[in-house]
Amino acid sequence: MIRPGLYIEQFINWLTLHFANLFDVIKVSVEAVVGGLEWCLLLLPFYVVIALLGWLSWKRAGWGTGILAILGLLLIYGMGYWEKTMETLALILAAACIALLLGIPLGIWAAKNKLANKLLRPLLDFMQTMPAFVYLIPAVLFFGLGKVPGAFATIIFAMPPAVRLTTLGISQVPDSIVEATRSFGATPRQLLFKVELPLALPTILAGVNQTIMMALSMVVISAMIAAGGLGEIVLKGITQLKIGTGFEGGIAVVILAIILDRITQSFGKKKQTTAK
């Protein structure tokens, strides 16, 4: 009988044994980022955060979205889930930022190097199609329970769109523009930062939007390993058959998803309008 899972288990155990110090450093660093974001979000009074997010939604996506954001966040506060919502927002923002910091350079590398693209493509397929629950297993072995393994599993799950859409955006830059830039003596660095990345920005921003949305979809799954936040409320509703509690947690997640989606989408649309 062929048991590939046995070899993967041995590999994970080998990593856990030989890179324990590295995982400790990563754990402390990610804890500091998530904890710092949480502290900042909870330091401000709730009405200041609601006003800031409402103003940002209004400026970026219109007055309708601004009103929706303010009413939605007031509903979350009224339900008593403000602290859990800020915990979730901090975890999502930290995981999405790390996923983008890793994913965008990998996307640029894949766009510039055909071999890298061939190597990354099956890996990204694997990352996107593997059931998200599976990522919790190595995350717990590497980092134990808590927010850090939740962030780790979220990063793995949310990174593929950032890589794929960065590669797509740069690949779609017309050859005529690239050749014209080279003919004027531009260096590869100037070509990338002054021509290709600005032209690919709407597609890259679509990747940013998708990365944040996929990170948000991991909220409930991460709660299974004590990551906390709104996922904990939904999980409590499921395990204790408290239908009302589960729905309230779900409504809070949906409100947060709509606000983040509208704000991040607006950046991409603005760039596309400017480009036209």
Give pLDDT, residue 101: 92
Q: CA–CA separation, 206 vs 194, rounded Å?
A: 20
Tell me which residues of the chain have a pLDDT lower than 50: none
Give pLDDT, residue 276: 54
Backbone angles phi, psi at 4, to 5 degrees: -60, -30
From residue 106, give the alpha-carbon distance in Å to each of 18, 121, 255. 26, 11, 31
Residues 6 or more apart whose Cβ sits within 8 Å of residue 155: 95, 98, 99, 102
Give pLDDT, residue 70: 92
Output the pTM of the full model: 0.83
Give pLDDT, residue 270: 58
Give pLDDT, residue 271: 58
Contact 155, 99 (CB under 8 A): yes
